Structure 1
Amino acid sequence: MTMNLVRSASLTNYAEIAREAGLDPLALLAEVGLNPACLHDPDLKIPSDAVRRLLETSANASGMDNFGLRMVETRHLSNLGVVALVAREEPTVRRVVRAMLRYSHLLNESVYAKLEEAEGVAVIREELLIGQEGSSRQATELLIGVMFRNLKYFLGPDWSPIRVCFTHAPPRDPGLHIRLFGYVVAFGQDFNGLVCTTRDMDAANPMADPVMARYARQLLEATTGSGRMDMVDSVRHILLVLLSSGECSIDQVAQQLGVDRRTVHRRLVREGTTFTEVVTTVRREMAAHYLEDCTRPLSQVAELLGFSALSAFSRWYKQQFGEVAGRRRRSDART
């Protein structure tokens, strides 16, 4: 039987939760045969069954039958890696969900995921197909909890599904489940997943950006294809994610790539460029795209390109293009 793999990002927050429970996370990793590096590199591929056993062992050792769910509370959309980039730029929540399900195998090869809609009801079903003996309660609750949090990211903090379904029995204390999901959580159901309305799926995604959508799809195709990206392309795509956060130093890019800054510098030089030149090129390209949209305030363009203030962006733009950004936009509007 083929070994199914999962991104090590599935263990985000594991060490913290384990220590809070009085456990030794490194000892437990060793017990199930996982390398400690998986706690630091989110893109490592590790055996799905080892993760399942780690979570179940941790739950049993700590006496916390909600151990997996505790790992959900601080999860972010960005934990999905490149899949998050594609999903975030889709125009509706339905398209967001379909993107996350379509590419779920890139995150966890053990997941069966499907969206079904009928008579105003939408069912997002996610099942773990471990193929091994033993409970998958913790991994399942983690999986469904992450989908729930991701939907709240798009639908707002006050959104609630019709029901959150689990096939397993209720926990001894349902307090955490109720705090996270509300009173719509139900156990002993026929499937694991979320029941929503089709209106939820129809909702527009206000964060969708067609410019970024194109880059995100290119990134996904490049990283899942047969060939590996060269360093210039790798850095370019990571910068597209980091620029708007204002945190796009070579150290942060190197961390995303799982190497040190000297390796990034050396490989960029080998490919005939530098990190500063790549940042400038990406900013020039994105500035041209964003300025085409006359409804987007220049202050927002500055933020998307990673500038701390509009004045800094204006100086950079004048230096790069020899004209004022606002004047360029007015010229474009007249043509």
Structure 2
Amino acid sequence: MVDLIRAACLTHYAETARSVGLDPARMLKSVGLPPCLTDPDIRIPGGGVRRLLEASATAAEIDDFGLRLAERGGFSNLGPVALIARDQPTVGAAMEAIGQYMHIHNESLRQRIERHGDSVAIIPELLLGRPVPARQAVELAVGVTYRILSAFLGPEWRPLDVHFTYPVPRNRQTYRRFFKCNVSFGAEFDGIICADIDMDRPMAAADPSIARYAQRYIETVAARSPTFDGKVRELIATLLPKGHCSVERVAQHLGCDARTVQRRLADSGKSFSGIVDDQRAELVVRLIEEKDRSLSAVAELLGFSAQSALARWFRDRFDCSITEWRSNPRRRAMDRITR
């Protein structure tokens, strides 16, 4: 199963790539990632992201591309995970919450917290199942962890040490500037060591009542289907209103080709067109209630070639015309009940 990552992890990729003389669009295309990543919540293949980071470091002839990307990002890039972390009572509780729900942001990333006497090691781990080049992805994960801790503990906070398992880079300047502490290479793990007392610091703006709402919300997000057809359905629901939904585009987000998508859906008794049809049915009843939205615009949003194609599909699906549906409040009410 392909692992997926929220596109938010590449929020600052384009500007980082340009800063080291790279063409971001060309680099994205070279690893098969979608060319436009303006929606931070849409998910993209983790393997493609890791290949992109490694290819960018190689093309720019630098060892620290992942760290440069982390330098421009921060806590907000975690999206739903940030919601539950920010209202925990202590920094330690916030980091535990991030570790518990990190898979929502990045399916291949986990976070361990190990306590050793008066120090704590926070260790982001990539769970890849097989050895692949991932130095830049590790740097990005450790760098983002540092940015999160800095956001919680203040700009004057410093870790005790930062560890990387790989060899000493050609240039340590970025590492010294970024972490502002000793950075050890060739270590036993990749992660950040800080004082145990840091974990007991209260979160500045914690609100327990908001934390309870955030808990319920993030558990709903975490309950998304882990199956292949569930991931396809999620992508279709995201791409369809943007007018960019096709089996080829969905395959690109899943890191495979269109034939693989069709075959794997068939294996589970589903079809791409059937899932698209169900998603259109869910969307259309909301869109046509907006009287100021033209039917031609609705047709375009749902991927129909013309308004007439939308009209034929709607009658086949709902056994009435759009006009009849709009004028029948009871039909609309029953439709909401049965969905």
Structure 2 equivalent of residue 215 of structure 1: 213
Q: How far did residue 70 of structure 1 move?
A: 0.7
- Compare 184-193 and 214-223 and name the one that shifted more: 214-223
Q: 2:66 is aligned with what amino acid?
A: G
In structure 2, the residue corresponding to 1:114 is in which secondary structure?
Answer: strand
Q: How far did residue 133 of structure 1 move?
A: 4.6
Q: 1:140 is aligned with what amino acid?
A: V
Q: How far did residue 206 of structure 1 move?
A: 1.4
In structure 1, the residue corresponding to 2:70 is in which secondary structure?
Answer: coil
**Cα distance between partner residues in 2 of 1:226 and 1:180:** 36
- The equivalences for 1:176-215 within 5 A come to 176-215=174-213
Structure 1 equivalent of residue 28 of structure 2: 29
Q: How far did residue 269 of structure 1 move?
A: 8.8
What are structure 2's unaligned runs of at least 5 residues?
226-237, 244-282, 291-339
Q: How far did residue 224 of structure 1 move?
A: 2.5
- With over 3 angstroms needed to count, the CA separation of the structure-2 counterparts of 1:170 and 1:215, relative to structure 1, is same
Q: How far did residue 20 of structure 1 move?
A: 1.9
Structure 2 equivalent of residue 244 of structure 1: none
1:112 aligns with 2:110: yes
The answer to whether the 8 A contact 2:112-2:125 is kept is no
Aligned residue among 161, 164, 167 for 1:169: 167
Structure 2 equivalent of residue 136 of structure 1: 134
**Cα distance between partner residues in 1 of 2:92 and 2:86:** 12
Structure 1 equivalent of residue 122 of structure 2: 124
**Cα distance between partner residues in 1 of 2:21 and 2:131:** 27
In structure 2, the residue corresponding to 1:208 is in which secondary structure?
Answer: coil
Structure 2 equivalent of residue 92 of structure 1: 90
The answer to whether the 8 A contact 2:159-2:181 is kept is no
Q: 1:203 is aligned with what amino acid?
A: R
Say which structure, 1 or 2, has more relative contact order (CA 8 Å, 6+ apart).
2
Structure 2 equivalent of residue 289 of structure 1: none
Aligned residue among 73, 76, 79 for 1:81: 79
Q: How far did residue 32 of structure 1 move?
A: 1.0
Q: How far did residue 259 of structure 1 move?
A: 5.7
TM-score, normalized by length of structure 2? Answer: 0.65
In structure 2, the residue corresponding to 1:196 is in which secondary structure?
Answer: strand
- With over 3 angstroms needed to count, the CA separation of the structure-2 counterparts of 1:268 and 1:120, relative to structure 1, is farther
The answer to whether the 8 A contact 1:49-1:132 is kept is no
Q: Deviations over 1:208-229 (max 9, x none)?
A: 01232122112212223359xx
Q: 1:89 is aligned with what amino acid?
A: D
Structure 1 equivalent of residue 9 of structure 2: 10
Q: Deviations over 1:33-60 (max 9, x none)?
A: 11123x2111122111111110000110
The answer to whether the 8 A contact 1:89-1:210 is kept is yes
Structure 1 equivalent of residue 150 of structure 2: 152
What are structure 1's unaligned runs of at least 5 residues?
228-254, 272-335
- With over 3 angstroms needed to count, the CA separation of the structure-2 counterparts of 1:127 and 1:224, relative to structure 1, is closer
**Cα distance between partner residues in 2 of 1:30 and 1:96:** 37
**Cα distance between partner residues in 2 of 1:210 and 1:270:** 38
Q: How far did residue 110 of structure 1 move?
A: 1.3
Percent identical residues? 45
- With over 3 angstroms needed to count, the CA separation of the structure-2 counterparts of 1:213 and 1:268, relative to structure 1, is farther
Q: 2:31 is aligned with what amino acid?
A: V
**Cα distance between partner residues in 1 of 2:114 and 2:131:** 29
**Cα distance between partner residues in 2 of 1:78 and 1:167:** 27
Q: How far did residue 270 of structure 1 move?
A: 4.7
